[in-house]
Amino acid sequence: MSERKDFLRTIVEADLKSGKVKEVVTRFPPEPNGFPHIGHAKSIAINFGIARDYNGHCNLRMDDTNPTKEDTKYVQALKDAVEWLGFEWEGNVRYTSDYFSQIHDYAVQLIKMGKAYVDSLPEDEIREYRGTVKEAGKRSKYAERTIEENLDLFERMKKGEFKDGEHILRAKIDMSAANMKLRDPLLYRIRHVEHFRAGNEWAVYPMYDFAHCLSDYIEGVSHSICTLEFENNRDIYNWVLETLELTPPRPYQYEFARLGINYTVMSKRKLLELVDGGQVNGWDDPRLPTIAGYKRRGYTPESILAFCASVGIAKANSMVDVSQLEFCIRDDLNPKVPRVMCVLDPLKVTIVNYEGSEEIDSSYYPHDIPKEGSRKLPFSKNICIERDDFMENPPKDYFRLTPEQSVRLKGAYIITCKEVIKDASGNVVEIKVEYSKESKSGADTSGIKVKSAIHWVDENSAKEVEVRLYDRLYSVEAPEGIEDLNPDSLKVIKTALIEPAVIDEKPDVRFQFERQGYFYGDPVDYTDEKPVFNKIVGLKGSWDKKSKKTETRPKERVKKEQVDGEVVAMSQEQEALFAKYTEELQLNSEVSNTLARDAQLSAFYEEALSLLNSPVSLANIVTNEVARELKQVAVEALKFSVKDITELVKLIDDKTISNKIAKQVFEEMVKSGTNPKQIVKDKGLVQISDPAIIGTIIDEVIAKNPDNVEKFKAGNSKLLGFFVGQVLKATGGKANPQVVNQLVTQKLK
Ligand code: ATP
Ligand code: MG
C-alpha cells in the first residue's frame, strides 16, 4: 500500500470504521471493445489494489451493453491484462449481459411506479426538448401514457416488434434539472443486433446509466470507482437505486482522475484506428500503450504498477510526462538484469599484434548490483565495435577511439589505432589496431590513460541477431491524429552482433546491452536460429536531450501538485468558484479545478470573460496557454494583455483560425507581444475553408497515394484519417478540419 493514503482509501477506511460498509467490494468494469491500455492499468491497480488492501474482493465485469462493438477476443485481452498485473478477480468473470433479465425487471418495476415511460418522439425532437443549460427542457407528450400502455409498449419493444429508434424507455425525473443528465435520461433503446454472448435474445439493450448501477447493486459492490467524466452521471446512479427502494446495502460511486500521458493516445477507439489502419502491427505492437504492447516490449508488471503508484490518485485530470513511465521501467530493471554486449552497427577491427584466442571471465552485473553470475567472453584478433565508436576527425569532446586516442574494450584490453582502411568511396571498412598486453581489465599495469571504455564482440563467436529499436509513436506532446505519428518510431536492425552467452546460456530474457539500453527477447518472434530483441527503453532520457535542443520552453506543464496523489481541499471561496465554473459556465471539472485553485488565473479569466462572453474557449486558452506562461513570469511581465487573449479566442470562435494554429499564434504573442490579428495577417495563418482550394489539395494527395485510395475503396475506412492528415499537413495545418473531412469523404466515394 502506498504510504500516503489517497482520497479513495480515506473514504474506504471511514466507511469500514463507521460500519457503513461491512466488506469492501470493488469491480473493474471495462467494455470489451478493444485492448486495455495503461489507463486501464491505473483503474485495475486502484480497484484490485483497494480490495486487496482492505481484505475485500474485486470483480472483473465486462460491461457489454453495446452489442455492435464487442468481441470475445477483447474479453481475453482484458483477462490477460489483469492476470499479468498480478491480480485475481473474485469468482468467474462477470458480464452485464448476464443481468439483462434482472435489469429488465427493474425497468418494468420503474414503469409500474410511474417513474419510467416509453417515448416515441423522433431523435431530433428529443434533443430539442431537452433544453439547454440556461433553459429548462420540455417533457414529451408521450410521458402522459398510462402505466398499462407503457408496460405493453415496453414488452413489445423487447419482443422486437419495432424498428431501431422507434421508441425508447426513459426515466421520469425532471426536465428542468440543472444537471442535464437528469432530464428524463434514456434507460433502454431498441437494437436489432446480435450480441456476442446473448445472441438474438434481446431487441432492447439497457443504457450505461441504468445497467451500471444495477450491476453494481446485484454484485454487492460497496465502492463503485470510476473516472471523472462520470461525475454528472452520479445523480442518475443514485436516483435509480433510491427510486427502486432496493434492500440495502447499496453501492456508492466515486470518481478519480483519468490517466493521460504525453506523446500517447489513450482511447480504445483511437488505438483501434491505428491497428486497423496498419500504422502499427496489431494490438500488441510494442509502440502501443496497450498492456499487451508493454508486455511484448519487455516492460514488467512491477514497473507498470510502480508507475501507477507514482502518478497517484487525484481528483483533477492531469497530463503525466511519459519519461516518468520510462524512469519506472529503468528503475525496475537496473538491479535485476544481466549486462551484456551487443554491437548494433558493426565495424571490423583487427588487432594486428594479438595471436591465438582466450576467454575472459566477466561478471554479468556491475559491482553495485548484489547479484552473482558471470560468463566467458571469447576474445581474438578479430573483433567488432560500434561504427560510431570510431571517428577519424572527431569533435573536441569525443572520448572514444580515434587515430590519436586509445580506448578500452570493456572488460578486456586497451587498443590503439594504427591504420584506417577505406573502400573506394571513402567509407571506413576496417581498422587495424594494436593492443597493450599489460592493459587487461582488472590487472592493468600499462600506464596508458584512456577516456572511455566501449563495448565490442568477438567476430568469430558472435551471433547475428535482429534488434528492433522503438521510439515514441508520436512526435508531438499532445498528438491529435495520424499526422502526428513519429515516422522513426521503429527501426529494425537485422545484422546486429551479440556475444554468444546471451543466446547459448540464456541467463535471462531481459538484458542491459551495455551503453545501448534495456532489451527483451521478443516473446513471439524469437527463435534460437533467429533471435529477435526489442528495445524496452534507453539508458537515460535520450529523448529529453533531443527535444531540448529544438524547444526553448516546456510545452505542457505537468501538474505536479496534483499527480503526487494528494488532493488539497479547496477553501470555501475556491469551492464557490468551482461550482460557478462547472454549473453556471459548464466548464469541465478539470478546467474548473485549475481555475478555481489559482487566484491569479481565475482573475485573468474573469477579466477576459467580462470582455468576451465565450466561457469555454476562454477557459481552454487560459488554463493551458496562459497558465503555462504564468508559471514562468509574473503577470506584469506578460507581453500580451487580457484583451489580446480575448482577440485570439474571437479568431478561434469565428473560425478564422483553428485551435492548432491558435497555439502557434500564441507562441508568437508571447515572444513579440504583437496582437493576434496582426500575427494572423502577417503570417498568413487564416484558416482555409474554401472548398475549391481544399479540393485541389485533396486531389493532389489522392493522386500521390493511389495504393491507399485503393485500400480505402476496398473497405479500409480507417484510411480516412490518413487522407485528412495529409491534407492538413499540406496546408501547414491551416485547412479547416471539418471541411477537409467532408470533402475527403465525398471525393473518395
Ligand atoms: P476508452 O476511452 O479508452 O475506451 P473507457 O473509459 O471507455 O476507455 P472502459 O473499458 O469503459 O474504458 O473502462 C474500464 C474502466 O477503466 C473504467 O472504470 C474507466 O473509467 C477506466 N479507465 C479507462 N481509461 C482510463 C484512464 N485513462 N485512466 C484511468 N482509468 C481509466
Ligand atoms: Mg468506452
In the predicted model, what is the mean pLDDT of residues 381-398?
Answer: 95
The Å distance, Cα 683 to ligand 2 centre, comes to: 40
What are the structural domains of the chain?
7-98+213-261 (3.40.50.620), 102-206 (3.90.800.10), 280-333 (1.10.1160.10), 339-458 (2.40.240.10), 572-678 (no CATH), 691-748 (1.10.10.410)
Bridge partners of 435?
A: 415
CA-closest residue to ligand 1 atom 1 = 267
CB distance 31 to ligand 1 below 6 Å: yes
CA-closest residue to ligand 1 atom 3 = 267
C-alpha cell at 545: 536531450
What pLDDT score was predicted for residue 699?
92
Burial class of residue 254, CB neighbours in 10 A (0-12, 13-18, 19+): middle
What pLDDT score was predicted for residue 541?
56
In the predicted model, what is the mean pLDDT of residues 642-653?
Answer: 93
- Distance between CA atoms of 317 and 324, rounded to whole angstroms? 16
Q: pLDDT category, 687, cuts 50, 70, 90? A: confident
Q: Which residues of 556-589 are buried (b: 16+ CB within 10 A; e: fewer)?
A: eeebeebbebebeeeeeebeebbebbbeebebbb
For residue 101, pLDDT beyond 70: yes
In terms of Cα–Cα distance, which of 114, 97, 96, 107 is closest to 187?
107
CA-closest residue to ligand 1 atom 4 = 268
In the predicted model, what is the mean pLDDT of residues 296-322?
Answer: 94
Backbone torsions φ then ψ of 655, nearest 5 degrees:
65, 20
In the predicted model, what is the mean pLDDT of residues 575-599?
Answer: 83
Q: pLDDT category, 555, cuts 50, 70, 90? A: very low
Q: pLDDT category, 362, cuts 50, 70, 90? A: very high
In the predicted model, what is the mean pLDDT of residues 219-233?
Answer: 97
For residue 24, pLDDT beyond 50: yes
Backbone torsions φ then ψ of 599, nearest 5 degrees:
-60, -40
- Distance between CA atoms of 376 and 365, rounded to whole angstroms? 13
The Å distance, Cα 259 to ligand 2 centre, comes to: 14
CB distance 15 to ligand 1 below 6 Å: no
Q: Over the chain, what is the mean pLDDT?
A: 91
For residue 554, pLDDT beyond 50: no
CB distance 66 to ligand 1 below 6 Å: no
- Distance between CA atoms of 708 and 705, rounded to whole angstroms? 6
For residue 446, pLDDT beyond 90: yes
CB distance 61 to ligand 1 below 6 Å: no
Residue 270: nearest ligand to its CA?
Answer: 1
CB distance 266 to ligand 1 below 6 Å: yes
Query: Who surrounds ion ligand 2 at CB < 5 A?
Result: 31
In the predicted model, what is the mean pLDDT of residues 75-104?
Answer: 98
- Distance between CA atoms of 522 and 381, rounded to whole angstroms? 32
Task: Identify which of 337-346, 364-373, 617-626 has the greatest average pLDDT.
Answer: 337-346
Q: pLDDT category, 711, cuts 50, 70, 90? A: confident
In the block, residue with C-alpha cell 572511455: 452
What pLDDT score was predicted for residue 654?
87
Residue 272: nearest ligand to its CA?
Answer: 1
By three-state DSSP, how is residue 631 classified? helix
Burial class of residue 94, CB neighbours in 10 A (0-12, 13-18, 19+): buried
CB distance 227 to ligand 1 below 6 Å: yes
* Count of beta carbons in the 10 Å neighbourhood of residue 281: 13
- Which of 28, 37, 40 should be mutated for ligand 1, with most atoms under 8 A from CB? 40
Q: pLDDT category, 3, cuts 50, 70, 90? A: low
CB distance 270 to ligand 1 below 6 Å: no
CB distance 268 to ligand 1 below 6 Å: yes
SS3 content of the chain, % helix, strand, coil (to 5): 40, 20, 40
For residue 561, pLDDT beyond 70: no
Beta strand 223-227 with 252-256 is parallel
CB distance 289 to ligand 1 below 6 Å: no
408-431 per-position pLDDT tens digit: 999 999 999 999 999 999 999 999
Angle between helices 737-748 and 706-713 in degrees, nearest 10: 70
- Distance between CA atoms of 498 and 384, rounded to whole angstroms? 10
Lowest mean pLDDT among 37-46, 405-414, 590-599, 694-703: 590-599
Give the rounded percent of residues in the chain with a pLDDT score beyond 90: 74
Q: pLDDT category, 736, cuts 50, 70, 90? A: confident
238-295 per-position pLDDT tens digit: 999 999 999 999 999 999 999 999 999 999 999 999 999 999 999 999 999 999 999 9
Determine the atom of ligand 1 nearest the C-alpha atom of 227.
Answer: 20
The Å distance, Cα 435 to ligand 1 centre, comes to: 59
Residue 290: nearest ligand to its CA?
Answer: 1
CB 669 within 8 A of CB 742: no
In the predicted model, what is the mean pLDDT of residues 584-600?
Answer: 83
Determine the atom of ligand 1 nearest the C-alpha atom of 225.
Answer: 18
Which residues are part of the catalytic machinery?
31, 258, 268
In the predicted model, what is the mean pLDDT of residues 348-359?
Answer: 97
Write the secondary structure of 331-349 as one string of H (helix), E (strand) and C (coil): HHHCCCCCEECEECCEEEE
What pLDDT score was predicted for residue 196?
92
Question: What is residue 6's DSSP assignment?
Answer: P
Q: pLDDT category, 4, cuts 50, 70, 90? A: low
- Distance between CA atoms of 666 and 484, rounded to whole angstroms? 20
The Å distance, Cα 325 to ligand 2 centre, comes to: 24
Q: Sign of torsion, CA 520 523 528 532? A: negative
The Å distance, Cα 260 to ligand 1 centre, comes to: 11
CA-closest residue to ligand 1 atom 8 = 267
The Å distance, Cα 30 to ligand 1 centre, comes to: 7
CA-closest residue to ligand 1 atom 15 = 30
In the predicted model, what is the mean pLDDT of residues 187-208?
Answer: 95
Q: Which amino acid is at 309?
A: A
Element (H, E) at 126: helix 123-129
Calculate ∠ Cα 576-580-585, nearest 5°: 165
What pLDDT score was predicted for residue 689?
85
CB distance 56 to ligand 1 below 6 Å: no
Determine the atom of ligand 1 nearest the C-alpha atom of 229.
Answer: 20
DSSP line for 222-243: SEEEEEGGGGGGHHHHHHHHHH
The Å distance, Cα 568 to ligand 2 centre, comes to: 29
Give me the numbers of helices (H) and strands (E) for the chain, helices first please: 27, 27
In terms of Cα–Cα distance, which of 283, 151, 278, 208 is closest to 30?
208
132-150 per-position pLDDT tens digit: 988 999 999 999 999 999 9
Residue 319: nearest ligand to its CA?
Answer: 1
Lowest mean pLDDT among 63-67, 232-236, 253-257: 63-67
For residue 605, pLDDT beyond 80: yes
Q: pLDDT category, 545, cuts 50, 70, 90? A: very low
CB distance 720 to ligand 1 below 6 Å: no
What pLDDT score was predicted for residue 548?
41
* Count of beta carbons in the 10 Å neighbourhood of residue 682: 11
pTM of the model: 0.74
In terms of Cα–Cα distance, which of 676, 713, 294, 697 is closest to 473?
294
In the predicted model, what is the mean pLDDT of residues 48-53?
Answer: 98
The Å distance, Cα 40 to ligand 1 centre, comes to: 6
In terms of Cα–Cα distance, which of 386, 381, 376, 387 is closest to 413?
381
